Amino acid sequence: MKATRTRSAQPRAPRRWRTPPPLIRGSAETLEGMEILREVPGETGVLLWQAYRNVMFWATAEPQERGKLFAADAGQRRLEDLLSADVPSGIVDALVAVGRLLGAPEATNGDTLAEACRTIAEWAEQQGYDATSLAFTQTAALGAPRSATLALAVGQQARQRGEMPRAETWFRHAIMIARQIGDWDSYGRAYLALGNMARDRGNFPMAQRMHIKALRSGKRKGIAQIVGRASHDLFVIATETGRTEQAEHFARQAFRAYGPDHQRLPALAHDIAYSWMNQGYFARALQVFEALLPLFSDMQHQLMVRANIIRSAGGSGDRERFRKTWNEAMKLTREAAAIPVLADSLLEMARGAASMGEWDRAEQVAERALDVATERNEPTVLVRGEGILESIRNGRSVEKAVAARAGRGADQADSLAHEMVRSLESYAGV
């Protein structure tokens, strides 16, 4: 028999997380920082561009090489330029701080530099200079390389500007830093962002994985905000991929994590009620939509919720609620502020009217929805609307209510609806 040898256990070195360096330039930038010159006029733009380039040189250089980056009199000349220039008061001190970098690069504190860059980024955002804000948020993150919060902010701003490859690299960079320093809030938020980007691309398996990672980290570290958001997003993914039971599970989990006073509670309640409405549970959805109506003051949400009430009332046979809300909604459809959601809302109203058997009314608003969608170039709405209109013209119902069913799942859904209504009423101060 072959003798076995025992080996003394060797301590395992901690696993190091490595990700590729994040992208620091947009695909449209031919010269680093050129967007600053395009956005910010005059000498302020030139000074900001110079400051950006200076910080980028410093942040990407090896520490032992930083003392050789700038000429001996560069700091003094920059301060003289600043004194003679007409620079907005909100960024003078920050530009002076960057100017001091030129005179003593080897002694400059990265956190101090990052704070100056963040100040410039916030000023630029207030002025509507989005590319400049992103550039200086990025230099802030590079100046303070142990800040997951700043790395996350770069990813968020890049995503808002449609720079998806750049955004993804910064979200992954934020995850790496957050794991190293134990910033579990940023860790979860970065995974949520990656999941939402994947969902936007239609990559639901990837979106599911990213949100599950966020959910697990939120549960492990006791961060209810992350648990709520991850569960909410997982509910949406499950709904869009037809996994009804899983969607109900995540809906309840998100509701519990958010609690009764969370600012995202109305959005969650709307998403859940809309899912129930699409499944044909009109009476259950209707009570939630009615509780939501007082919570929205802007024209678009007012129209959207009323359109959903009309569809739910039609599906559940509540003629009184249908007619009252129809008149209210029709007034809103004539408002310019409602145009971005007009076509979708009109289609919901058409479905409600068809369920009520009011075919002429249904056809009229469906045709108007198609006209709006054509004018606004909304192809998805057009395809959906053409199918609805064809059914209406053929006198066929475009949907069917689900018969009331008993069982644990139905009881849980009804209980969730009642709880949400109570929370929404409390939220509204009723």
- 245-252: long-range contacts (C-beta < 8 A, 24 or more apart)? 245/409, 247/275, 248/409, 248/412, 248/413, 248/416, 251/275, 251/416, 252/412, 252/416
Cα angle 356-361-364, degrees, rounded to a multiple of 5 = 140
Distance in angstroms (rounded) separating the CA atoms of residues 257 and 230: 10
Q: Is 306 helix (H, G, I), strand (E, B) or coil?
A: helix
Give me the chain's average pLDDT, please.
92
Q: What is the DSSP string of 368-388?
A: HHHHHHHHTT-HHHHHHHHHH
pLDDT in tens, 302-313: 999 999 999 999
Phi and psi dihedrals of 317, rounded to 5? Answer: 80, 20
Neighbours of 63 (CB within 10 A): 10
CATH of 280-427, one of 1.25.40.10, 3.10.580.10, 1.10.540.10, 1.10.10.10: 1.25.40.10
Residue 430 has pLDDT above 70, yes or no: no
Among 69-83, 247-261, 386-400, name the one with the lowest average pLDDT: 386-400
Residue 183 has pLDDT above 90, yes or no: yes
Question: For 34-47, what is the mean pLDDT?
Answer: 95
| Every domain of the chain and the residues it spans | 34-161, 280-427
Given this model, what pLDDT does residue 2 score? 44
Distance in angstroms (rounded) separating the CA atoms of residues 338 and 303: 7
Helix axes 148-160 and 184-200, enclosed angle (nearest 10): 20
Instruction: Say which residue the tokens 């980007």 belong to.
Output: 197
pLDDT in tens, 195-226: 999 999 999 999 999 999 999 999 999 999 99
Given this model, what pLDDT does residue 405 score? 54
C-alpha to C-alpha distances, 46 to 25, 49, 105, 130, 311, nearest whole angstrom: 18, 5, 21, 16, 56
Given this model, what pLDDT does residue 343 score? 97
pLDDT in tens, 28-37: 666 788 999 9
Question: For 275-304, what is the mean pLDDT?
Answer: 96
Given this model, what pLDDT does residue 402 score? 66
Distance in angstroms (rounded) separating the CA atoms of residues 47 and 32: 14
Asked if residues 258 and 218 have their Cβ atoms less than 8 Å apart, the reply is: no
Residue 363 has pLDDT above 70, yes or no: yes
Given this model, what pLDDT does residue 403 score? 55
Q: Burial level of 84, CB count in 10 A (0-12/13-18/19+)?
A: exposed
SS (H, E, C) 250-269: HHHHHHHHHCCCCCCHHHHH
pTM attached to this predicted model? 0.88
Instruction: Say which residue the tokens 């969607």 belong to.
Output: 247
Classify the C-alpha dihedral 385-391-394-395 as positive or negative. Answer: negative
